[in-house]
């Protein structure tokens, strides 16, 4: 990446950045603001009930003061470098401008823990329908609003696979003029997104690890930061084909590191390991690294965050 952020030509080249929100919240939500507080029922009933609940939740803080985690910090840095507005893609609130004030909440479309809304649905979960519902909520910015101005400036969307499933239809419904401005970054999104969006998908893969190391959970945000700080610095006015070619060139010659095979354990076994390493090691990020690197244990960040909170009673979340 370039040195001296003041010289970035990406400033003025980006109309908006859209990134997944973080499962790590700096303000703990009340029980009524969590998915687990709802009875198991049909998805349409849950969609209605959640929107009604949102209208009654107290405001907690600005969005950028609610979301924690390395991935969200990388996105904030990309926004600062480019001076582009940042929006959080939230499974609970819709598309949220980070300067807006929002309630604390606990809801995700990923995993099977107490914050998983899919676990509260008694039939097949439809993530696109859920997104359509929360997009009509009181804190969401319409996707069409993002593309209603900005002339030909890029709109860059960072997605995990679960969030790509949630937004696929909304992005596919955009007009051609918007699709030409769209750049999508993430890992292995091709099989999930509609073919119409393929030209907008930048070809980042595991070789990014050799340029900007990190975890699987922050891959999309790392790709976002790399493209904003380096790709758009070279081609601030490039079209999708030019940007696609630049990413291919940037990754050329790089080798993806061999990933260590880690053992998957039951919740109770991971809890025992957390207790073993406390209090010598505290904080979700630090202790997760100990489990992955020293103990050789596989554990997704959202799952580990839940188990860490259970082990510590919600203390020491940073």
- C-alpha–C-alpha distance, residues 75 and 91, integer Å: 17
pTM: 0.80
Read off the pLDDT of residues 175-223 as tens digits, 9 standing for 90 and up.
999 999 999 999 999 999 999 999 999 999 999 999 999 888 899 999 9
90-to-119, 151, 213 alpha-carbon distances in Å: 17, 26, 25
Answer for the pair 3, 84: CB distance below 8 angstroms, yes or no.
no
- In the chain, which ranges are E strands? 14-20, 61-62, 86-90, 94-97, 101-102, 154-158, 182-185, 263-264, 297-298
Q: Any idea how long the chain is?
A: 318
**pLDDT for the residue 151:** 75
> Would you state the pLDDT for residue 7?
55
The two beta strands, 154-158 and 61-62, are: unpaired
Alpha helices per DSSP H over 61-113: 63-66, 70-82
Dihedral, CA atoms, 240, 241, 242, 243, nearest 10 degrees?
50
Percent of the chain at pLDDT above 90?
A: 64
Q: Diameter of the chain by CA atoms?
A: 56
């Amino acid at each position: 990446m370039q040195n001296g952020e003041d010289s970035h030509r990406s400033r003025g080249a980006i109309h908006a950045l859209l990134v997944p929100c973080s499962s790590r919240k700096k303000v703990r939500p009340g029980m009524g603001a969590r998915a687990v507080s709802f009875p198991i029922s049909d998805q349409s009933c849950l969609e209605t009930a959640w929107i009604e609940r949102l209208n009654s939740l107290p405001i907690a803080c600005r969005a950028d003061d609610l979301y924690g985690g390395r991935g969200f910090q990388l996105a904030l840095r990309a926004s600062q470098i480019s001076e582009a507005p940042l929006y959080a893609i939230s499974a609970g609130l819709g598309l949220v401008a980070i300067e807006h004030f929002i309630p604390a909440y606990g809801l995700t479309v990923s995993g099977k823990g107490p914050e998983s809304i899919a676990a509260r649905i008694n039939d097949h979960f439809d993530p696109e329908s859920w997104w359509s519902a929360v997009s009509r909520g009181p804190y969401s910015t319409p996707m069409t609003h993002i593309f209603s101005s900005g002339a030909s400036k890029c709109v860059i969307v960072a997605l995990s696979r679960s969030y790509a499933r949630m937004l696929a239809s909304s992005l596919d419904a955009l007009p051609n003029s918007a699709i030409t401005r769209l750049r999508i970054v993430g890992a292995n999104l091709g099989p999930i997104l509609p073919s119409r969006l393929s030209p907008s998908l930048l070809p980042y893969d595991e070789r990014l690890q050799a340029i900007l190391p990190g975890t699987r959970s922050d891959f999309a945000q790392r790709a976002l930061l790399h493209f904003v700080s380096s790709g758009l610095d070279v081609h601030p006015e490039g079209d999708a084909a030019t940007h696609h070619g630049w990413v291919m060139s940037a990754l050329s010659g790089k080798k993806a590191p061999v990933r260590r095979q880690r053992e998957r354990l039951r919740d109770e076994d991971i809890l025992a390991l957390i207790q073993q390493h406390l209090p010598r090691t505290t904080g979700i990020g630090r202790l997760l690294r100990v489990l992955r690197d020293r103990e050789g244990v596989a554990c997704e960040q959202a799952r580990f965050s839940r188990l860490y909170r259970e082990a510590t009673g919600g203390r020491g979340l940073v």
